[in-house]
Chains A and B, each alone.
Chain A
Amino acid sequence: MDTSDLIRSLATNAPAVKRLRPPLVRALGWLLLAAVIMGLMTVSHGVRPQFAERMQDTVFAINMIASLLTGVLATIATFFASLPDRSRGWLLLPVPPLVVWLSTIGYQCFAGWVPVPPGAITVEAASGCLATLILTSLPLSLLMLAMLRYAAALRPTSIILMGSLAVSAITSTALSMFHPLDATAMILGWNLGTAVLFLAGAALLSRNMSKAGAGKEDRTSR
Chain B
Amino acid sequence: MPDERRRRLTLVATDGEATAEDAKSASRSPEASASRDLDWSILMAHAQDGDNVAYLRLLQEIAPYLRSLVRRWHKDAWDIEDTVQDILLTLHTIRHTYDPARPFGPWLVGIANRRAIDRLRRRGRQVLREAPLTVEHEATAAAPDSHDDELDKHRLTEALGGLPPIQRTAVDLLKLKEMSLKEASEATGLSIASLKMATHRALRNLRSLLSDRRDW
Contact = CB atoms under 8 A, between A and B. Distances in A.
Interface of A: 1, 3-4, 6-8, 10-12, 14-20, 22, 83-86, 150, 153-155, 207, 210-211, 214
17 contacts: A3-B81, A7-B60, A7-B63, A12-B56, A15-B50, A17-B48, A17-B96, A19-B98, A83-B97, A83-B110, A84-B107, A85-B102, A85-B103, A85-B110, A154-B110, A210-B125, A214-B130
B107 to A, nearest CB: 4
Contact of B93 (A6, A153, A214): A153
Given A19-B96, A22-B99, A84 B110 contact: yes
B50 A153 contact: no
Nearest to B56: A11
B155 interface: no
Contact of B85 (A3, A154, A210): A3
B128 to A, nearest CB: 11
Given A6-B85, A11-B59, A19 B48 contact: yes
Interface string B36-66: 0000000000011110100110011001000
B131 interface: no
Which secondary structure characterizes the binding site on chain B? helix
Contacts of B107: 83-85
B94 interface: yes
Given A19-B96, A20-B99, A84-B97, A10 B50 contact: no
B129 interface: yes
Given A11-B52, A150-B96, A153-B90, 4 more contacts: A6-B85, A19-B99, A150-B93, A154-B94
Contact of B129 (A1, A8, A16, A211): A211
Interface in B106-123: 106-107, 109-111, 114, 122
B63 A85 contact: no
Contacts of B50: 14-17
Contacts of A153: 90, 93-94, 111, 114
Interface of B: 47-50, 52, 55-56, 59-60, 63, 81, 84-85, 88-90, 92-100, 102-103, 106-107, 109-111, 114, 122, 125-126, 129-130
Given A6-B88, A85-B102, A18 B96 contact: yes
Q: Which of A6, A19, A85, A210 has the most CB of B within 10 A?
A: A85
A7 B98 contact: no
Contacts of B84: 3
A3 B66 CA distance: 12
A83 to B, nearest CB: 6
Contacts of A154: 90, 94, 110-111, 114
Nearest to B100: A19
A8 B125 contact: no
B38 to A, nearest CB: 15
A16 B48 contact: yes
A155 B52 contact: no
Contacts of B90: 153-154
Contact of A3 (B88, B92, B102): B88
Contacts of B60: 4, 7
Contact of B63 (A3, A86, A210): A3
